[in-house]
Structure 1
Amino acid sequence: MVNKVFFLILLVGLPLSIIGNILHWPTVLMFVVYCITIVALAGYMGRATESLAIVSGPQIGGLLNATFGNAVELIISIFALKAGLIGVVLASLTGSVLGNLLLVAGLSFFIGGLKFKRQNFNVYDARHNSGLLMFAVIVAFVIPEVFSMTMSPAKTLSLSIGISIILIMLYLAALMFRLVTHRGVYQPKESGNIEHEEPEWKKWKAIIVLAFATAAVAYVSEALVHTFEEVAETFGWTELFIGVIIVAIVGNAAEHASAIIFAFKNKMDIAVEIAIGSTLQIAMFVAPVLVLISLFLPEKMPLVFTLPELIAMTSSVLLMTVISNDGETNWFEGATLLAAYVIMGIGFYLL
């Protein structure tokens, strides 16, 4: 049923996005059309990566899902950088961290917990990810903000470049650790179930769908970025709210859908890997890459967030670490994460 809805949305939304962009239809109307179209495209990306995940195992499958889910956000952010919307880009990175740790994980834990009393996932992966999360968000994001208080903008940018390079190197090392040198050392509990499940699409069909969806998302995302300023003025939204809530939810729609589906099927290894792995990829790869890309654009982006953004991200990491470190979850823990997301969403709306 959901797949048919996404197909109909895509069948109508993609042509409307192209025609409306060419004919310059009303901005607010097109903002809605673009967002819905991107969500539908993200749904197809999620189904394609789910098919690839079934034959790849939970770790690689979760990584694939997070990567192609974050591709949407990366594309939107690059176009926003070109448009000089630095605040929107930083806010969308914040929103991705909050969205993945609180909204995606929260919905996964809650919906899965309604069907199963207790759900287990690989505790070793959870603890490994928790350490990286605390490093990436609390150390790598907080330090530029603290040092920027006594630094010139040029030195702050230099510090951001250095931190970005270190983050990318450590992220690649983390992939090497989990997928090469220590692959299989900490065996996930659910890998047997995944290997015997039939994928929805064959390998090459999934790859073709991914390629098409990614190209379509790139086109629609560029058009979406040009609507932000007028939409903000119309609804009285700030760039911070658009980035933290709107762009983050639209950009991460693929992970949202996939993680919840996996949790409902009691495949918590992949669901948790999508939520936490996607956050790590945003913090340790996407954000640093955007900093480096900005060096070739008119406006440079230092890795300096606002105080509310930093406090919100730090609180999310600490809450997720406490909840996930036992390798078990239930619907109440999901409700706790969702409550935290709603509280922060209200705060960003009122700023």
Structure 2
Amino acid sequence: MAHDHHEHLGTQVTSPGVRSHASRRSGISEFLHLDDNKDALLGFWDNFNRKGKRKIGVLESLKAIALSSWLNILIVILPVAWVAHWRQEEGEWGHTTVFILSLLAIIPLEHLFDFGGDQMAYYLGKDIGDLLVVTLNNAVEATLGIILLLKCELVLLKSTIVGVVILHLLLVPGTAFVVGGSRIIQQDLHPHITQLNHSMLTVGVLSLLLPVAFFTALNTSFSVGGATEAATVVSDQIRGKILQFSHGLAILLLIVYICSRIYLHNPPGDDNALELHLAPNAPEAFRHEAEKLKREDPEVNQWVCIIMLAICLALMATTAEWLVESIEPVREEGKISEIWFGLILLPLLSYAGDGLVAIVYFIRRTLRHFFREPTPPPTLAQAEAIDLSIQFVLFWMPLFVLIAWWSGRPLTLLFDLFEVSLLVGSCFLVNYVTADAKTNWAEGSALVIFYIMIALVAWFYEGQPEVRAMSDCESVATALAAIAGGGDSGGVHSG
């Protein structure tokens, strides 16, 4: 029997329990898709270096960057804003002047992030390029968030996080739907990506309901022997517990975001080698956009683009720090509540450049339609802003919590109940509007008007004093003493 078992070694026939070394290596390689990964990596590198395609020169790249938008004219404000900051320290310039100049100086930098991300998509491919574009579009808000965190302005940071998310859920896509759908009955969204966005957005928003529900459930009164007593929940002990599960929630949110990016990069199935944008059921406009990156040439050299983005990031970070330093005096001079400042004013900073471009584009296209040969209306709805919201709530917000954990700052995921309600309402409206993967200008106007409603109501809102106390950087006891001494929750500062 042993002889019969080994007589066919030439054909590598073995028992079920024994496998040859070569067969084992083959099985492992097949399981890990090593050959496919190697080919994909080589293909990525060839595409990044534009192997066999025309190379873009340095001078050509610099010219394209300079002429990318008329907003680049505002770059001359950057040195003026720096001078204003230095002169303000000497008492020659006011905080309001520094704030306005810094605000205007960041607008062209934010546009260059958009332009650079679009150009890098030619070298990185559609899926990685989209991720880079979204990340660069969030660069201004993320930098502002990190600066606010390091300065321990936790109340303002939380309001800004909510403000950025609802801005990119309502105002930005709403404006894009109005402008893009003004001449066509409806525009298309990618059905698979839209369904995934609904799930990711809902998970991120509902994660903020958990700390609020926990805190609200504890913050109740109860009766003992006919006497009503209040549970003391605004304390360092309770905040310590909220901090602990906030760190856990932050890690879990990051895992959710990473899983969503892996799915978009390599969806499962027989055709997973194809990009999701080229799937058979994708709208024709998406297929055309993905093929455009492979067919057309970029305007900027990849290395020039990387250097440009690094320089813009450094300039923006410095200017944003001076902007944050002037926030408190400007807010007090204008008698603007901290909630409204974070919810509305600071997030609008990131939309100023795109808003101007959208308005000018809408006017120019309308005039061309009436007085010149009309251009065909776009069928693809611009909904990238929803991706910005998802990244901010699933990646940047938990990252802020982890940075605060590392740096010893008590940033929790316990947000103001009013702010969480705004997020839930915005999430519901956006998911409802995009449920059929189609949109039109009327739905876009509904998003914009709801954002205006939020801004109107938020103007009169002062915030929850107990949540403000739980965000104090020293201790909750110190915050409560400040409230008791001042008799006003506005007297408590998170920094």
What TM-score comes out, normalization by structure 1 length? 0.91
For 1:191-270, list aligned pairs within 5 A.
Answer: 191-193=287-289, 194-195=292-293, 196-251=295-350, 266=378, 268=380
Cα 1:105–1:38 change in 2 (3 A) is same
- Give the alignment partner of residue 121 of structure 1, picking from 185, 189, 196: 189
Over the residues paired in the alignment, what is the CA RMSD in angstroms? 2.6
Q: 2: CA distance between counterparts of 1:253 and 1:296?
A: 33
| Letter of the structure 1 residue corresponding to residue 193 of structure 2 | D
SS in 2 for 1:109: helix
- Give the alignment partner of residue 147 of structure 1, picking from 193, 214, 219: 214
1:20 aligned to 2:84? yes
Task: Tell me: higher relative CO, structure 1 or 2? Use CA pairs within 8 A at least 6 residues apart.
Answer: 1
Cα 1:47–1:335 change in 2 (3 A) is same
- Give the alignment partner of residue 75 of structure 2, picking from 10, 25, 29: 10
Whose Rg is larger?
2
Contact preservation (8 Å) 1:110, 1:332: yes
1:290 aligned to 2:357? no
Cα 1:329–1:55 change in 2 (3 A) is farther
SS in 2 for 1:350: coil
1:83 aligned to 2:148? no
| Letter of the structure 2 residue corresponding to residue 308 of structure 1 | F
| Letter of the structure 2 residue corresponding to residue 290 of structure 1 | F
SS in 2 for 1:115: coil
Unaligned runs of 5+ in 1: none
| Letter of the structure 2 residue corresponding to residue 217 of structure 1 | M
Partner of 1:95: 163
Q: 2: CA distance between counterparts of 1:70 and 1:282?
A: 7
- Give the alignment partner of residue 64 of structure 1, picking from 132, 140, 149: 132
Q: 1: CA distance between counterparts of 2:428 and 2:251?
A: 25
Cα displacement (A) at 1:116: 2.9
For 1:33-48, list aligned pairs within 5 A.
Answer: 33-48=101-116
| Letter of the structure 1 residue corresponding to residue 131 of structure 2 | L
Q: 2: CA distance between counterparts of 1:50 and 1:115?
A: 25
Partner of 1:168: 254
Encode CA deviations 1:82-135: one digit per residue, 9 max, x unaligned. Answer: 222111111111011111010111011010011333211211110111011111
| Letter of the structure 1 residue corresponding to residue 86 of structure 2 | I
Partner of 2:31: none
- Give the alignment partner of residue 158 of structure 1, picking from 221, 244, 265: 244
What TM-score comes out, normalization by structure 2 length? 0.65
Encode CA deviations 1:208-238: one digit per residue, 9 max, x unaligned. Answer: 2211111111001111111111111011111
Cα displacement (A) at 1:204: 2.5
Aligned residues: 347
Partner of 1:308: 418
Contact preservation (8 Å) 2:331, 2:337: yes
Cα 1:327–1:301 change in 2 (3 A) is same
